[in-house]
Amino acid sequence: QTPLLESDFYRFQEQLTDQERASLGKLREYLERDVAPIADEYWARAEFPKQVIAPLAELGMYGPGVPLVRQFENSAVYRGWAALELGRIDAGVATFIGVQSGLAMNSIAVAGSDEQQREWLPRMASGEIVGAFGLTEPLSGSDSARGLRTTARRDGDTWVLNGSKRWIGNATFADVVVIWAKDVADGQVKGFLVTSDTAGFTATKIEDKIALRSVQNADITLEDVRVPESRRLQHADSFRSTATVLRLTRTEVAWQAVGISVGAYEAALRYARERVQFGKPIASHQLIQDLLVKSLANITASIALCTQASALQDQGLGGDEHSAMAKAFATARMRETVGWCREVQGGNGIVLEKGVARFFADAEAIYSYEGTREVNTLIVGRAVTGQAAFV
């Protein structure tokens, strides 16, 4: 039997099937052996470790929720735990998968025709093709579903795209980017599979980030980019298609945030046991125990919420408000937790080598992407009051 994660204090992983636990065990083994030792160095150089792409495909991490390509039948709760295990070791790698599998592949699975799914998804599941998801724009972030300025104009059998995108993860080396644009004829948001070799498409890396440094985020410009009708996602006909994708991925980002908290907590606990002050390990000081226990309580409460958010998805009962609350809650708890864990390490908490600093920094990006805390709060607020407070 695959061992439970030690920080799974209330033994939630016992709810998974043996096959799911075995798969998580293999993932954990790979991440601890091959990713943990290189994560800081790639983070510091702001490079993505591309050598992880193929092994993660073998571990079934691209499209585990898509029946056409998944390695075995599994639950959303299992997929959440996979996001946690990834976040626990490297939020950059977890984000790469969140984009490839969660955003890009799910867009095709949710809104692509059968033919489009068969054309793209197997090659993305094998890691042969890297995908990206282009929704956010320089002038449109939280309001991107409604406020998109990128345009799509139909010209016979092709579409002509013009506009710009910002923050697009994986986009400096992705083979295909799902570009969301407004059809000038009917004003509706449509999705297009744009290959990066298309004339008029450019992706420029965003430099000097202080969080998720290994993730390659890009500014994209689209100048008269021509895309055949066969590459328009056939079932995406309004901004609701993007909401459907984000409902799935937001819950996984919430799980990923718990993983970041776990990574920071484990490093803080190790440090507290070793570091001696006033003649004894700081782990034996009451106030340090308070920081550690509060961190573990945040982790545990977040796992409980995420487990139920994913279980609702499995039952077909998960709404936008459930994934939004999970994301807002888990990321707020993460931000608190990584701060406490950094505090446990004192001055050493700000150097990468001691194991908390990278999680502390990366938490800032995860707090804001896939809907900020404010916007996810307003999604829940709309559900409970019946009043939309966005504008």
Give the interface with ligand FAD as residue ranges (CB under 6 A).
Answer: 99, 133-136, 141-142, 167-169, 212, 215, 217, 365, 368-372, 374-375, 390
* CB-count burial class (<10 Å; 0-12, 13-18, 19+) for 153: middle
Residue 219 vs 237, nearer CB to ligand FAD: 219
Q: Tell me the closest approach of the beta carbon of residue 236 to ligand FAD, in angstroms.
A: 15
Q: Which is nearer to ligand FAD, 24 or 83 (CB)?
A: 83
Four-point Cα dihedral 291, 293, 296, 301, nearest 10: -110
Chain centre distance of CA 108: 17
* Number of Cα atoms under 13 Å in the Cβ half of residue 350: 3
Residue placing its CB nearer to ligand FAD in the complex, 57 or 378: 378
For the stretch 374-383, contacts whose Cβ atoms lie closer than 8 Å and that sit 24 or more positions apart, written own/partner, are 374/142, 375/142, 375/324, 376/250, 376/324, 376/325, 376/327, 376/328, 377/324, 377/328, 379/320, 379/321, 379/324, 380/321, 380/324, 380/325, 380/328, 382/321, 383/319, 383/320, 383/321
Enter the tokens of residue 186.
């009917």
- Closest among 84, 60, 202, 64 to 134, alpha carbons compared: 202
In the complex, least distance from residue 293 CB atom to ligand FAD, rounded to whole angstroms = 30
Query: Are 115 and 122 within 8 A, CB to CB?
Result: no
Shortest Cβ distance from residue 245 to ligand FAD (Å)? 11
| Distance in Å, CB of 369 to ligand FAD, minimum | 4
Kindly tell me the sign of the dihedral angle through the C-alpha atoms of 216, 208, 364, 148: negative
Closest residue (Cβ) to ligand FAD?
141
Smallest distance, Å, CB 213 to ligand FAD? 10
End-to-end CA distance of the chain, in Å? 52
Asked whether the beta carbons of 362 and 92 are under 8 A apart, the reply is yes
**Closer of 58 and 143 to ligand FAD (Cβ):** 143
Q: Give the three-class secondary structure for 354.
A: helix
Question: What is the Cα–Cα distance from 152 to 185, expressed in whole angstroms?
Answer: 9
